[in-house]
Chain A
Amino acid sequence: MNIDELLLWKYIDGKCSPSEILEVELYLKAHPEKQLELDSRKAFDALMTEQPLEVPSLRFVQNVMEKSGALARTTIEPLMSARARWAFGTLAILFAVLYLLTAYLLGSSMLGNTAVLNLVSSLQQFTSVMNSQIVVIVATTSLAGCLFFGLDFYLNRKNKFHTN
């Protein structure tokens, strides 16, 4: 009986099926001299596994950082999460549109003028007529929201990876 050398390596790697293990063990019992060969393979395997990894130069990572341009890139943390950004942004834009529309309609009905060019005066009229704190809050919040959304969007775009 002779045994496949491939099977011996498989045995050493612990990848043999129960029947293959039995086959190898019976073979070794019948050929005790082959045990030395198996031991030699095991010893070789252990030596190979124990081999230390090679170590590059001390400046290796620094060189990688410089070559890749990773260091040149400044990271700016986004002001809010993506989901919050879109929700807040949409809300801010809706408020702004609502404010402008209401102001325009109200102002134009009061002044009897529907010309688009008179929008600014309509807004002034609307704010002065209403003179309500709510109007001021809505207007300020919506405009600030738009600015904030725009700024956050800009920072987020700046943070995107440039692959080339």
Chain B
Amino acid sequence: MDQDLKYLRAAQSGNANAFRYLAERHKDYVYTLAFRVVKNRETAEEIAQDVFVKMYKNLSSFRGDSKLTTWLYTLTYRTAIDYTRKRNISNDSIDRDDRYFELKDSSSHNPEVLMERQERSNQIKKVIDRLKPDDAALITMFYFNDKNIDEITEITGLSRSNVKVRLFRLREVLRKELVKELQIKSKEK
């Protein structure tokens, strides 16, 4: 039996420790997804907690037809996106056609050799921060979820082809932006 399902069944029959285990196991992913969408640590923490509270309250309705993670990430995605819509968080993104086409393709420099690991990680965060909320969610789910497009389709409710095209465009934009950022950094040095 799936490890998650085993603990979920225990949680459904009232075992608080089983629920604690599930929260412990999935908290980082849920928090990361929320953080990438709302771009604020405190809000992301509140949203992630809210997601687990909702999960707890609806435990009895989960029948195990889909993976627990799909259910959990769908809750996270919807809660975070709803939050950004209610708060009217800016939908400006680096993934706008005008800026996209302005970017020069400077991929002749391999990013891997330009920066230290930590610096690169910070740059990636910076670049992802400039994506609009739903794009940030897509790219996060893609890279943290074994590039599982079917699961992303289920979570977001978007069509498979839409997810594929958007991901392709996002990866291209992010890569070019990242190269640009890294080049600026290397020039500063």
Contact = CB atoms under 8 A, between A and B. Distances in A.
B156 interface: no
A68 B52 contact: yes
A14 to B, nearest CB: 9
A71 B16 contact: yes
Contacts of A64: 23, 27, 49, 52-53, 56
Contact of B16 (A41, A49, A75): A75
What is the size category of the interface that chain B forms with chain A? Answer: 35 or more
A54 B16 contact: no
B120 interface: yes
Contacts of A9: 168, 171-172
B179 interface: yes
Interface string B141-172: 00110010000000000000000110010011
Contact of A163 (B19, B60, B108, B165): B60
A56 B35 CA distance: 10
Interface of B: 12-16, 19-20, 23-24, 27-29, 31-32, 35, 44-45, 48-49, 52-53, 56-61, 105, 107-112, 117, 120-121, 124, 139, 143-144, 147, 164-165, 168, 171-172, 174-175, 178-179
Interface of A: 5-6, 9, 13, 36-37, 39-41, 43-57, 60-61, 63-65, 67-71, 73, 75, 159-161, 163-164
